[in-house]
Structure 1
């Protein structure tokens, strides 16, 4: 089968199209004939071995696919790698039926990025009706869904940040009340101004560096910052516990795999909720571009340049 493999760690240049044997499912797994592959920012970290879970060589990256099982069922699945290929194996309980009215783009947008947005707002930040929410990288895969979820769940004011006028316009179309430049020199002042001069209640942050530093300073008492990535590859400044105490601030980290350690079927609840909202027309996926499997390197280059919006997909037939 056609696949993309990494045999040495590095940037997009290490993504190499190859021919590999088809994977064989073990007990509790299902084989999926892949129709489309989702591309996530985490894939770029996996390729350079800077992800939270260490990578082992050789590897086929990719954590999400949509396709058909042997009995013809259409599913979207979360994977432990191996997604950049014509066929992939997934745990049976990590493969979710896709409603007929939900297209591949939407299904792939929800399995990682949609569920991440859902968990950030529901579990990490505990959004309450009327609270202000800042969504950094609001035109990206997680951000574009987080903006819509925050509005659907009654946020008082949604403040989007993005790096270009076109991305800020998209965030406004998705329901943000105001959109500001993510490259602002003083992020604290920018967020306060965007919120009518008042500190903000919630910040969803996957940028790191000075963006995180400025966002923490913009939080209101009992404000929460949910940190789920570091796209800038820049570490924020260390946080002193006395400052958290002095401002009643909460800083939460969120890594998606930990959802499977929770009691009950929280991930299944998130997927069902997202599919229902999409079917009702309350949220939608944003297409970020489709590449052939052989063009995986170009997709990673676009992601790392932070020039993309919405959800990127790979077509295994090309």
Structure 2
């Protein structure tokens, strides 16, 4: 089969199209014919050897796919690598049949980014109606879905985005207010001004000074769900800062839900995501589809922060 492989860590140029043996599924796995492979910021961390889990070379990146199972059913699936390929073996409990009325392109972000947005808001953030929540990168894959999901439960969404066009998209998706995140200076005060006061909950994926600014915008007993450090800057929050306002700060990494309650948490959230797409209350923003061979270009586009929505690879091109 054709696959994108990494023989070394580095820039986008390390992503090479090669012919490799088909994967051999284990007893607990099923082999999928892949039609779409999702491209995520985690893949950039994998490529640069800054991912949360160790990666052994050679490696095929890609953690979410759309494809067909041996029975010919269209499914969306989570993987632990291997997604940038024409075939991939996935765990039986981590793929779900795609309902009629949802296209492959609509389905591809739901397994990883959709489930992440859902559980960041509702499992970790415990967001409820009437609360104020900050959502970063609001025009991106996770952010654009999180804005809509939060607004639908009656939360006041304060969306962060770096350009006017991205901020307008966040408003169109249901955000109550937007804040320019292209500069960190005074970000906490600008968030509170947009929200009409401190916020109850926030998502955070940038790290560095932005993390501190987001914490400073939280109300007493506020909740912070951290799911990345896109800036590359790891930083610490002091216990004193947390105690001052009784802040709850939690890290989130979706793979820790893969085995939780035998996958029932993900089964429930993917069902809710499917239903929202079908009834039109959840819109998937398409960021562009690249031929499999152009995976390096897809990474460059994602890293440039110029893209809105979901980028994917077409494995048939």
Q: Which interval holds the TM-score relative to the shorter structure?
A: over 0.9
Quote the residue 2:147 is aligned against. Answer: 147
Decide which moves more: 157-166 or 142-151. 157-166
Per the TM alignment, residue 64 of structure 1 is displaced from its structure 2 partner at its CA by 1.1
Note if 1:214 corresponds to 2:213. yes
Native 8 Å contact 2:67 2:76 kept in 1: yes
Q: Distance in 2 between matches of 1:282 and 1:315?
A: 26
Note if 1:105 corresponds to 2:108. no
Tell me how many residue pairs correspond in the alignment.
315
Per the TM alignment, residue 262 of structure 1 is displaced from its structure 2 partner at its CA by 2.5
Quote the residue 1:119 is aligned against. Answer: 119
Quote the residue 1:312 is aligned against. Answer: 311
Native 8 Å contact 2:64 2:112 kept in 1: yes
Q: Distance in 2 between matches of 1:262 and 1:113?
A: 18
Note if 1:244 corresponds to 2:242. yes
| Aligned residues: CA RMSD | 1.0
Q: Distance in 1 between matches of 2:120 and 2:212?
A: 19
Q: Distance in 2 between matches of 1:41 and 1:240?
A: 27
Quote the residue 1:276 is aligned against. Answer: 275
Quote the residue 2:87 is aligned against. Answer: 87
Note if 1:194 corresponds to 2:175. no
Of 241, 250, 255, which aligns to 2:253?
255
Q: Distance in 1 between matches of 2:231 and 2:241?
A: 24
Quote the residue 2:175 is aligned against. Answer: 176
- Taking structure 2 as the reference length, the TM-score comes to 0.97
Q: Which 5+ residue runs of structure 2 have no aligned equivalent?
A: none
1:215-240 residue CA offsets vs partner (Å, 9 max, x unmatched): 1011001111110011111123x212
1:266-288 residue CA offsets vs partner (Å, 9 max, x unmatched): 01011001111111111111001
Per the TM alignment, residue 256 of structure 1 is displaced from its structure 2 partner at its CA by 0.2
Q: Distance in 1 between matches of 2:228 and 2:52?
A: 10
1:63-114 residue CA offsets vs partner (Å, 9 max, x unmatched): 1111111211111111111111111111111111100111112211110001
Q: Distance in 2 between matches of 1:146 and 1:110?
A: 11
Q: Distance in 2 between matches of 1:79 and 1:92?
A: 11
Q: Secondary structure, in 3 states, of the residue corresponding to 2:109?
A: helix
Per the TM alignment, residue 243 of structure 1 is displaced from its structure 2 partner at its CA by 2.2
Q: Distance in 2 between matches of 1:252 and 1:56?
A: 28
Quote the residue 1:131 is aligned against. Answer: 131
Native 8 Å contact 2:64 2:109 kept in 1: no
Question: Where in structure 1 do 4 or more consecutive aligned residues deviate above 6 Å?
Answer: none
Q: Distance in 2 between matches of 1:34 and 1:16?
A: 18
